[in-house]
Amino acid sequence: MNIVIFGPPGAGKGTQSNLIVKKFDLHQLSTGALLRKEIKDNTNLGKKISSIINEGNLVSDEIVGNLIEKYISNNIYKGRLIFDGYPRNLIQAKNLNRLLKKYNQKIDIVLKLSVTLETIKKRISERKDLEKRTDDSEEIAIKRFVTYEDNIKPVIDFYKQSNLLKVVDGEGSIIEINDEISGLIEGI
């Protein structure tokens, strides 16, 4: 099965994806992690995108579209991807459908993690010390939250129309949220 998980920065997408991957033998495709790796490895792409990411803006649809196609087109991952952080806007949501169709696949469930800005600030300030991400300052976290809110509404409507959307309360503990998500996946 292919799963999409989205939510604002600090909602727990990465943590939950990681747990789901282990439980259901899937592969986590985190566009944020892939982009951060490009920066860390100082590739041409990394040099191009580092200021965009550090300022809390979105990287171009074309760049992230190319990154995810590499995975969708790879038979190893066929029907076992969890899209963590993609799509972020309607263009990307439509592109994901197009790519999955191209490689004879589909999305089975879309999970939206809902959390308040207060919780996000708290989680990001905790994560800052652990992961040392350059985009985890409070100022940039708020900017990323606003970017998320500005773009995500049409994505939510898009997946509601296809009856794939499940909203998960992201305020609970990691285990509580994971139990809820696992139940939803098992119910597919």
Binding-site ranges for ligand AMP (CB under 6 A): 9, 31-32, 35, 52-53, 56-59, 64, 85-86, 88, 92, 135, 144
Task: Please identify, using beta-carbon distances, which residue of 31 and 178 lies nearer to ligand AMP.
Answer: 31
As measured in angstroms, the least distance from the Cβ of 68 to ligand AMP is: 8
As measured in angstroms, the least distance from the Cβ of 101 to ligand AMP is: 19
Q: Are 103 and 85 in contact (CB under 8 A)?
A: no
Closest to 80 (Cα-Cα) out of 141, 25, 125: 25
Greatest alpha-carbon pair distance for the chain in Å reads 43
3-state secondary structure of 137: coil
As measured in angstroms, the least distance from the Cβ of 117 to ligand AMP is: 15
Task: Please identify, using beta-carbon distances, which residue of 9 and 12 lies nearer to ligand AMP.
Answer: 9
As measured in angstroms, the least distance from the Cβ of 120 to ligand AMP is: 11
Task: Please identify, using beta-carbon distances, which residue of 174 and 188 lies nearer to ligand AMP.
Answer: 174
Q: How far is it, in rounded angstroms, from Cα 132 to Cα 136?
A: 8
Q: Are 73 and 29 in contact (CB under 8 A)?
A: no
Task: Please identify, using beta-carbon distances, which residue of 47 and 179 lies nearer to ligand AMP.
Answer: 47
Q: How far is it, in rounded angstroms, from Cα 156 to Cα 43?
A: 33
